[in-house]
Structure 1
Amino acid sequence: MSASGSLTLILIMSIAVLAPLLAHGVSRWLSVPLVIFEILLGVLVGPDVLGWAAPGQVIDVLGRLGLAMLMFLAGYEIRFDRIGGDTLKRSAAAWLIALAAGLTAGTLLAQGGGFGKGVYVGTALTSTALGTVLPVLRDAGDLRGRFGSVVMAMGSIGEFGPVIAMALLLSGRAPARSAALLAAFGVLTAAAVFWALRPKAPWLSHVITRTLDSSAQFAVRLVMLLLVVMLGLAQALGLDVLLGAFAAGLITRLVLRGAAPDSGEVVLSKVEAMGFGFLVPLFFVLTGIQFERAGEAAALVGAGMISVLVFPLLALRLRSGGRRAGVQAGRGERVPVSDGESW
């Protein structure tokens, strides 16, 4: 790593330490998601403002690993037993309606740029930043409940619907070939899920339990193996690696549930510590550093960043208002609110 790369990494990790302190200080007046401080501070030290930090090859690789870790954890947190088929159907239908509206708006906004440009803009308008939604839900304490499960399900459709649409329409391959590759990935993922659901040998649970507190850390190494295998599979098929990371999360939950039901949460806490302690904040800070203020692409990225800054604040405010309304309706007692949870 060059001297400039080392300085950039030091700045990024300094911001990673400073951001929680700022979020904690501001929380007395306003609940601001942590990722907002990470992105804004990244913009501040980036090339277009102070010019203290600049992307580099090593930093970029770490940033991509951070995004992959976010998608992995998002896949891990999807619990199909809590959301049922009806929620997924409504999520898919809502996204398809949004896609139709987005393609129409994108084509009109393209101003003669053609259908291809309209597809870029339209799919961008329907995309959900699941990587941003996950830490916001987690920090708000809503991730593990019914509300979090439903939001994650809808966010998953909004995250990977555009990825699939872009793969089919704008990958440079024939749509039939892209569809075949997506189908192949789906079949291979289904085969991995089938393997994960099969009963595991007793020795696997024994090894996981015995190495939880040792330097071997077998379970964590197994999780990382599943992640890189699915990333490699997606890349080999010419697909977005985020699909592989998300699928790895789904598979890992099933593997740990079958092999080590009593140790799964401990293993997850270790993986989360590695992700949220290093890779994930690095990704968000790097997102701010890489923001450039020029051209149409910057306009789209800027609009996306504004939505990341504004929408979580509005959602948290509405969520807290709904909780207060539920408590008041019960005259101070905890009563079920609209999402099916009890408060």
Structure 2
Amino acid sequence: MKDIAFINLLVISAISLIAPLALGLMPKIRVPAVVVEIVVGIVLGPTGFGWVKIDLPVQVLSLLGFAFLLFLAGLEIDLHRLRGRTLQLAVLGYAISFVIGLAAGYGFNLVGWVHSPLLVGVALAATSSGLVVSLLSDSGHTGDDIGQTIIAAVAVADFGAVLLLSLAFPTAGGSASGRAVLLAAFGLLVAVTGVVVWLASRSRELGNVLTRLQDTAAEVRVRGAMLLLVGFAALAEKFGLEDILGAFLAGALIGVVDRDGSNHPQFRTKLDAIGNGFLIPVFFISSGLRLDLRDLVTSPAALLRVVLFLAALLVVRGLPALLYWPTFGRRGTTAIALLQATSLPVIVSATQIGVQVGLITPLNAGALTCAGVLSVLLFPAAGVRLLRARQDPGAEGEDATSREVASNGSIPGVGVPAAGGVGETEGEFPPGM
């Protein structure tokens, strides 16, 4: 045990506490905490002072943090609303994004920046579903029409990205056809597990036991969720897939089975506390520590790559938002475009895989990750402000479609009832995000 030390984890834990507190004390600074965490990681890592390193405890907790981030993103998906026209537009939007992203990847390949257009296409077509869903939840939009549309779009994008990373760029190797077979077998096993969990949840006797133990030291519901998370991640690895795919599916499965939380209202709050209170900040801070931007900050030509990657993110994920123009009008469509273009975790994962297998240089991986950081810094705040303006009945130039939704309670062209009673948002990031 002499080789294991906790001093680096201590510094990271302190950063995770100080970042939201500092933002809470300075409410005029509208920056998500994850950006501050990554930036501080960069400053304290090899790019800056070199004071903090990624040792074994930090590495393990960072991996768990990324898995938990995707687990919570899967948990937020309402699969019962993710169907019909909403699902069709989300899938079509992602397909368009992937094609545009692949074209951008070939463009970057022609100038010698990347060796794999597919890897860049997957990274550019992804979205930070966990961050976007958290933002929508804190601003009161997860239950309304446009909120569910955005959640559907980002969920499909993240699932598609994780799936493609598992199939096309596995760190374990193997042929594409073999991985497809393994993916099908893994999907079947997930489905069987889901049926077993659902049948168990219908048992009155087991339900009484869960209710009696859920708020005691046993915390059986939380333990069960952790078992599914770790179990699916381990199974995904065993099948030669990325463990993050298993984590995402574990969250989605719990979201399907656990629709009615009336007899355990604190369950998801406890999961949020584990993830956002400890594991996820470790992932974001260590992501900053992994970035060695010394070559990037000393080269104006390299900085240009950050700008171009950021523009590519906005185009790749923003253009498909035009599909929603007939439903949500100018403001709603622009808000969807900006929130869809907010991307970081999958970019971090894709670039780490790319560097590991030699498909992208550390310099370009850093530039693409910096573009992701800037997307988190710039796009969500503007998107939320547009959602607020669209929600305000007295806003100047309000979209006609928004007025129609407000008057008849339905969304034309989507067929999803509009949720009412949504509170106003100030367009700010909550300090803890």
* TM-score when normalising by structure 1: 0.88
Instruction: Output the CA distance in 1 between the equivalents of 2:67 and 2:190.
Output: 17
Once the two structures are superposed, residues 273-301 of structure 1 have per-residue CA deviations (whole angstroms, 9 ceiling, x without a partner) of 11111111221222222222142221222
| Matching of residue 89 in structure 1 with residue 91 in structure 2 | no
Look up the equivalent residue of 2:16 and give its one-letter code.
A
Instruction: Output the CA distance in 2 between the equivalents of 1:221 and 1:283.
Output: 22
Look up the equivalent residue of 2:239 and give its one-letter code.
L
Q: Is the 8 A contact 1:67 1:131 kept in 2?
A: no
Once the two structures are superposed, residues 188-215 of structure 1 have per-residue CA deviations (whole angstroms, 9 ceiling, x without a partner) of 2222222233353222211211113321
Look up the equivalent residue of 1:304 and give its one-letter code.
G
Return 5+ residue gaps in structure 2 as ranges: 296-362, 423-433
What is the 5 A alignment of 1:278-297?
Answer: 278-293=278-293, 294=295, 295-297=363-365
Residues 2 and 305 of structure 1, relative CA distance in 2, 3 Å threshold: farther
Alignment-derived partner of residue 66 in structure 1: 65
Instruction: Output the CA distance in 1 between the equivalents of 2:3 and 2:130.
Output: 30
Partner SS for 1:215: coil
Please identify which structure carries the higher helix content: 1
Look up the equivalent residue of 1:164 and give its one-letter code.
L
Alignment-derived partner of residue 299 in structure 1: 367
Once the two structures are superposed, residues 232-287 of structure 1 have per-residue CA deviations (whole angstroms, 9 ceiling, x without a partner) of 111111111111111111222344447xx433332211121111111112212222
Q: Is the 8 A contact 1:5 1:54 kept in 2?
A: no
Residues 55 and 114 of structure 1, relative CA distance in 2, 3 Å threshold: closer
Look up the equivalent residue of 1:101 and give its one-letter code.
I
| Matching of residue 180 in structure 1 with residue 248 in structure 2 | no
Once the two structures are superposed, residues 118-177 of structure 1 have per-residue CA deviations (whole angstroms, 9 ceiling, x without a partner) of 112222211212233233233323334444332222112211212323333344432211
Residues 133 and 3 of structure 1, relative CA distance in 2, 3 Å threshold: farther
Residues 148 and 240 of structure 1, relative CA distance in 2, 3 Å threshold: farther
| Matching of residue 317 in structure 1 with residue 385 in structure 2 | yes
| Matching of residue 21 in structure 1 with residue 89 in structure 2 | no
Alignment-derived partner of residue 232 in structure 1: 234
Partner SS for 2:80: helix
Once the two structures are superposed, residues 301-323 of structure 1 have per-residue CA deviations (whole angstroms, 9 ceiling, x without a partner) of 22222212222222222222222
Instruction: Output the CA distance in 1 between the equivalents of 2:376 and 2:165.
Output: 22
Partner SS for 1:282: helix
Return 5+ residue gaps in structure 1 as ranges: none
Look up the equivalent residue of 2:367 and give its one-letter code.
A
Instruction: Output the CA distance in 1 between the equivalents of 2:203 and 2:178.
Output: 39
Alignment-derived partner of residue 11 in structure 2: 11
Instruction: Output the CA distance in 1 between the equivalents of 2:38 and 2:143.
Output: 25
Look up the equivalent residue of 1:292 and give its one-letter code.
D
Instruction: Output the CA distance in 2 between the equivalents of 1:142 and 1:5.
Output: 43
What RMSD over aligned residues (CA atoms) do the two structures have, in Å?
2.9
Look up the equivalent residue of 2:185 and give its one-letter code.
A
What is the 5 A alignment of 1:98-247?
Answer: 98-111=97-110, 117-171=116-170, 172-198=173-199, 200-247=202-249
Residues 130 and 20 of structure 1, relative CA distance in 2, 3 Å threshold: same
Aligned residue pair count: 338
Moved more, 115-124 or 96-105: 115-124
Instruction: Output the CA distance in 1 between the equivalents of 2:48 and 2:115.
Output: 33
Query: What's the CA shift for 1:3?
Result: 8.8
Instruction: Output the CA distance in 2 between the equivalents of 1:77 and 1:326.
Output: 31
Percent of pairs with identical residues: 33
Alignment-derived partner of residue 316 in structure 2: none
Alignment-derived partner of residue 429 in structure 2: none
Instruction: Output the CA distance in 2 between the equivalents of 1:66 and 1:2.
Output: 25
Residues 30 and 142 of structure 1, relative CA distance in 2, 3 Å threshold: farther
Residues 327 and 189 of structure 1, relative CA distance in 2, 3 Å threshold: farther
Look up the equivalent residue of 1:140 and give its one-letter code.
S
Q: Is the 8 A contact 2:78 2:255 kept in 1?
A: no
Alignment-derived partner of residue 77 in structure 1: 76
Look up the equivalent residue of 1:26 and give its one-letter code.
M
Look up the equivalent residue of 1:127 and give its one-letter code.
A
Residues 308 and 274 of structure 1, relative CA distance in 2, 3 Å threshold: same
